[in-house]
Structure 1
Amino acid sequence: MLTDQEKIDLVNALDFVVIEPHTQSIYVHNDEKTNGVLARVLHTISVDEYIESFKKGSLIDIFPAAMQEAGAEGFKDGQFVIMPKKFYVDQCYAMSKEIERLTNLITLHNIKPNTYQGLIH
């Protein structure tokens, strides 16, 4: 049984032909290499069913397989990625610090609710 990272590495080894961020579609060729990767990555649907569901001409949208079957959590810098827990902790910490900074500004300038427009000149 492959780990999620191993599955994602297999998917990332494919040649991404068309990337459509606005539709969250990433197309690869419908060839033996892709079929082999799908056979190793898919566990809730057969390769044939997947291809039938996500084909567009001679291409296949690999995005659903990567996100739902391989465990990817995003697409960054041209690759599917799993974000480590530390990433989320760091994001929460940064957001907490920003909330604290903004709260201090509100207190410092004695800003009341719905008076922010008075600060804009």
Structure 2
Amino acid sequence: MKNILEQINSLEVIHIDLDNYAIYVEQNEQVIKILHTLIKDMTVEEYIHSFRKDDLIDLIPAVIGTGLADGYNQGKGFVSESKQFYMKRCLELNSRIEYLENMIVSLGGHPNMQIVNENKLIH
């Protein structure tokens, strides 16, 4: 059986919210089982209520709160890197998205256009 970090990284990420540092996955039986393993200071139901967006769940608080991983590196999943590394990557990604948003506006687009990469919403 895979260790818990491998199980988490095997989940398909549906949405990454850089403004709130959130990584959303579908709420399903596998995710609920993982949350039961991770969550210690509240019930899984309380966690879902607090970190739910429609039918998606944000995994960042659960994973980082356990000390299993310090951050999320897109393409590698949750990683045991320093939090400083994670925050630097998030800021770099945020800068790139701001650059793209400014480019869209300069070309006559709307600043709130959604950016899609390989058919997945990234912002």
TM-score bucket of the superposed structures, by smaller chain: 0.5 to 0.7
1:44-94 Cα offsets, whole Å, 9 max, x none, are 22111110110011111111111112531111133111138xxx9xxxxxx
TM-score (norm 1): 0.58
Could you say if the C-alpha distance between residues 70 and 45 of structure 1 is closer, same or farther in structure 2, counting changes exceeding 3 Å?
farther
Amino acid of the residue matched to residue 82 of structure 1? S
**Unaligned ranges ≥5, structure 2:** 86-123
Of Structure 1 and Structure 2, which has the larger fraction of its residues in strand?
2
TM-score (norm 2): 0.58
**Unaligned ranges ≥5, structure 1:** 1-5, 89-121
CA RMSD, 1 decimal: 2.0
The corresponding residue for 2:80 is 82
Residue 52, structure 1, aligned to residue 45, structure 2: no
Amino acid of the residue matched to residue 53 of structure 1? S
Residue 37, structure 1, aligned to residue 34, structure 2: yes
Identity of aligned residues (%): 31
CA distance in 2, matches of 1:16, 1:49: 22
Aligned residues: 80
CA distance in 1, matches of 2:45, 2:61: 14
CA distance in 2, matches of 1:13, 1:69: 18
Of Structure 1 and Structure 2, which has the larger fraction of its residues in helix?
1
CA shift, 1:22, in A, is 2.6
Bigger CA radius of gyration: 1
